[in-house]
Structure 1
Amino acid sequence: MLKSVYKLLKYGFPCVLQLIDPYWTVAPVLIGHFYRLHSDKTSLDNARQSVCLGLLWIWSLRLTHSYLRREKWEIGAREDWRYADMRARYGKHWWWISFFAVYVVQHAMLVGISLPLYSVHASKQPWNALWDSVACAGCLLGIGVAAVADTQLHNFVTANEQRRAAGKLPVLLLNTGLWRYSRHPNYFGEQLWWWSLGVFAVNVGQPWALAGALFNSLCMVGVTNLTEARMLARPERAALFKEYQRRTSVWVPWFKSQEQE
């Protein structure tokens, strides 16, 4: 019995990792509706609850579309480079390391970032015209920034694929559009979305629900470092990217100072 469980984890878990991204795009919606179904029935007319669920659906549809477009409309067909690197680094031990470092952490993050939804659905406080509107605007702005950044990245990758197919050299660095002002504008958009969703929890007197957004941001620091290390690993792009690092904000889009130009 234990041997069967071991084999299932060792050989089945890599397949689960392939599906963690599409799973991530829908899990918060399921959690949000769970809280809605188990909320106090007398508070179901609360506008804040309906707005949060509506925003959650917009976020989910946006991220799902971005994932499917990136993967050429196939689910789990391509292995994430981070997991491939992990397997190469840790060899035969990679499956259990990734189980805790990726799978368990991902689920802790999903629960954490969904805490504002619990707070909202446990509250009977009416809509706050100022601060709930601010939270809503922040959520929409975060979704919009991430959508634009992902589209610009997708167009950049597609154009490079076409250049290679035509026998031309690819462009080594995306530094136009939002990527001119931030090295990771898509990450910034996601963080703005989750922190803005947390503001709804603050508005009902439960700031502790921001813990999930903080945990998510800390994890994104690690993801950002991995991504930039990969960019620097290619010799033909290393010097160009180092200059890009020097001149460009990491997350928050920011204008370059005059002396940097």
Structure 2
Amino acid sequence: MIDLYWTVIPVLLVYYYAAHPLAQFDRWRSKLVIALTWVWSIRLTHNYFRRENWQWGAREDWRFTDMRRQYVDKPLNIWDFVAALVCLCGVVTAYFADTQLHDFVTRNHKLKELGKPMVPNLDRGLWRYSRHPNYFGEQLWWWGLVVFAWSLGHGWTFVGALVNSICLAYVTVLVEQRMLKQEYRADAYRLYQKTTSACVPWFKSSAVAVKDKHT
């Protein structure tokens, strides 16, 4: 599939970026790059068809054939069902968390329009047990895919999910820093941080909350 479309995809991409309403570039440099991309595409497309005796998609590149042989094909087993359950739980968790967040934000917008005090923090539903349940659900999806791969002997794929988790952890820090910069919710969010799990849903730390209120 890569060989069939790789020679034309870059042409589509340069036109997409050139036509984007927020694009900023020198018009003549853009035209020059687009023209050169067309030259590159025509050269590579011509070479592909010449090599394949002017047939399209009739043969697979030998490198991809060799790569495919390296992968193990096993019958469906219990680990596939475990992986599917993890993925499904991730999607469902993220959906409900995002929906609850959307409703919260919408409600606060209406309160602001009416000149009423906004609710400083969302700590209901899934957000009662995790400060970022939507992120947790997203991570479940990716780690579920790792279980699929692991059951086929390709556990090394955990690297991709790990990098994804690290990136999302960084985003989580940025989100929480932004929350603490908003005066109307800073105090409530600090308490929320002390009592609520950062990612994995868990019971609230009521002892910390009580201690914080007394101090």
TM bucket (normalised to shorter chain) is: 0.5 to 0.7
TM-score by length of 2: 0.64
TM-score by length of 1: 0.53
Q: Does 1:171 align with 2:119?
A: yes
The change in CA–CA distance for 1:158 and 1:190 in structure 2 (over 3 A counts) is same
Shifted more, 158-167 versus 138-147: the winner is 158-167
Deviations along 1:187-217, one digit per CA (max 9) or x if unpaired, are: 0000011001110000000000111000000
Shift of 1:251: 0.3
Gaps of at least 5 residues in structure 1 are 1-7, 14-37, 39-117
**1:215 paired residue among 153, 159, 163:** 163
Shift of 1:132: 0.8
Distance 2:207 2:114 in 1: 39
Distance 2:111 2:23 in 1: 37
The letter of the residue matching 1:125 is K
% same residue? 50
* SS of equivalent residue, structure 1 residue 125: coil
Tell me which structure has the larger Cα radius of gyration.
2
Which residues in structure 2 correspond to 1:1-261 (within 5 Å)?
A: 12=23, 122-128=71-77, 130-260=78-208
Distance 2:168 2:74 in 1: 32
Shift of 1:176: 0.6
Shift of 1:236: 2.3
The number of aligned residues is 149
Distance 2:82 2:121 in 1: 35
Deviations along 1:160-183, one digit per CA (max 9) or x if unpaired, are: 111122221211110111001000
The change in CA–CA distance for 1:257 and 1:170 in structure 2 (over 3 A counts) is closer
* SS of equivalent residue, structure 1 residue 182: coil
The letter of the residue matching 1:207 is G
Instruction: Work out whether residues 196 and 205 of structure 2, in 8 Å CA contact, stay in contact via their aligned partners in 1.
Output: no
Who is 1:90 aligned against?
A: none
The letter of the residue matching 2:153 is G
The letter of the residue matching 2:97 is A
Deviations along 1:21-43, one digit per CA (max 9) or x if unpaired, are: xxxxxxxxxxxxxxxxx8xxxxx
Distance 1:234 1:259 in 2: 26
Instruction: Work out whether residues 195 and 206 of structure 2, in 8 Å CA contact, stay in contact via their aligned partners in 1.
Output: no
Q: If each structure's helix is expressed as a fraction of its own residues, which one has the higher value?
A: 1
Distance 2:193 2:122 in 1: 12
Deviations along 1:131-175, one digit per CA (max 9) or x if unpaired, are: 111100000000000000000000001111111222212111101
The letter of the residue matching 1:143 is V
Gaps of at least 5 residues in structure 2 are 1-17, 25-59, 61-66, 210-215
* SS of equivalent residue, structure 2 residue 23: helix
Shift of 1:258: 4.8
The letter of the residue matching 1:12 is A
Distance 1:172 1:256 in 2: 18
Where do 4+ consecutive residues of structure 1 move more than 6 Å? Answer: none
